[in-house]
Amino acid sequence: MAPEIAKLGHVALVSTDLEKSLVFFKEIIGLEETTEIDGVHYLRAYSDFQHHTLSIEAGENAHVKHIGWRTKTADCVLGFKELLDEQGIAVQEYPKGTTPGIGDSIRFQLPSGHTFELYNEVEKSKAASDKASILKNQVYKSWNKGISPRRFDHVNIHTTTDVDESYEFLMEVLGFNMREYVRGDDGILAGWMSVTPLVHDVAMIKKETLPTPARLHHISYWLDDTQDILRAADILKENNLPFIGPGKHGVSQAIYLYVMDPGSGCRVELFSGGYLIFEPDWEPVEWTLEERALSNTYWGDSVQDKELNNITIEAR
């Protein structure tokens, strides 16, 4: 049986101003800190069950070390290693505990140059008693501080490499499903793919020029409804942080708001609404190049027309 990825796990972020990043992610976004070990801070949203969904550490250059994905079983990690070996992909193995809260894992590069980590075993750390929810099916108190998103949702990555090769790798080797895409004169320019019922766990966008071939455009955290997005806009405005949105995407039909971490330059999308896919015979939705503006922005503040300093984070 083919190995399977269960869900998006975490992003390992390096910031050039750790203090600013921690204030942004902990106090303004409202993530909770599971622990800090050797200068690396491990954070998660109030209803993220695994040890962390974001780690942040200091570095000379802002970049993403890797993007982590949890597999369905421990055997799937071994299964993926065998598949990657067959593809001639270099695989690095890491023992349990190399990343706190994560079991045995493997890391490798996509054809795009992005580094993925696969693992199954996770530590489901409990919250400290003064922060714990009284709900047995939730980790932390909701709305405890800041914007307070419920959970980690997706990542958006960009590349200047042969994007078709990466789409094929994601689908044929890693088992992602193409849900929606934008087609140009020379093929697919943007693809939204998932291993869950979400419209996308990862989006990959082709760019003609970038400072490096593999970039992270944004990470995304989920809010329950549109009112939460409007509340987030108030909080960002009160903290003098520029943002894009609110608006609604054509792709995914989700309500969005984008803000940038002033410490690392990492974009964060606050995300709500949209739809889920349960059909086993789902046919990917095609958008043409002429419809690209609509696919990006159904209504509201345009993501295309108003970029936040046009910064993308190197993904190594």
Per residue in 76-89, pLDDT (tens digit) is 999 999 999 999 99
* Class in CATH terms, 151-315: alpha beta
What pLDDT shows up at residue 60? 94
Nearest Cα to 21, choosing from 64, 50, 51?
64
Amino acid at 192: W
pLDDT band at 301 (very low <50, low <70, confident <90, very high): confident
Higher pLDDT residue, 314 or 73? 73
pLDDT of residue 71: 98
pLDDT at 314: 76
pLDDT band for position 315 (cuts 50, 70, 90): confident
pTM of the complete model: 0.95
Tell me if domain 5-119 and domain 151-315 are identical in fold.
Answer: yes
**Residue 155: band (very low, low, confident or very high) from pLDDT cuts 50, 70, 90:** very high
- Cβ atoms of 115 and 94 within 8 Å: the answer is no
- The DSSP code sequence of 280-300 is TTPPPEEEEGGGHHHHH-SEE
Question: Which sequence spans correspond to the domains of the chain?
Answer: 5-119, 151-315
pLDDT category of residue 307 using cuts at 50, 70 and 90: low
Residue 276's Cβ-count burial label (10 Å; 0-12, 13-18, 19+) is exposed
pLDDT tens-digit profile of 17-64? 999 999 999 999 999 999 999 999 999 999 999 999 999 999 999 999
In this prediction, residue 1 carries a pLDDT of 82
Whether 303 shows a pLDDT value over 80: the answer reads no
pLDDT at 138 over 90: yes
pLDDT at 313 over 80: no
Q: How confident is the model at residue 302 (pLDDT cuts 50, 70, 90)?
A: confident
Q: Quote the pLDDT of residue 305.
A: 59
Please report which confidence band the pLDDT of residue 271 belongs to, taking 50, 70 and 90 as the band edges.
Answer: very high
Look at residue 308 and tell me whether its pLDDT is greater than 70.
no
Fold of 5-119: 2,3-Dihydroxybiphenyl 1,2-Dioxygenase; domain 1 (3.10.180)
257: confidence class by pLDDT, cuts 50, 70, 90: very high
**How many beta carbons lie within 10 A of that of residue 18, not counting itself?**
18
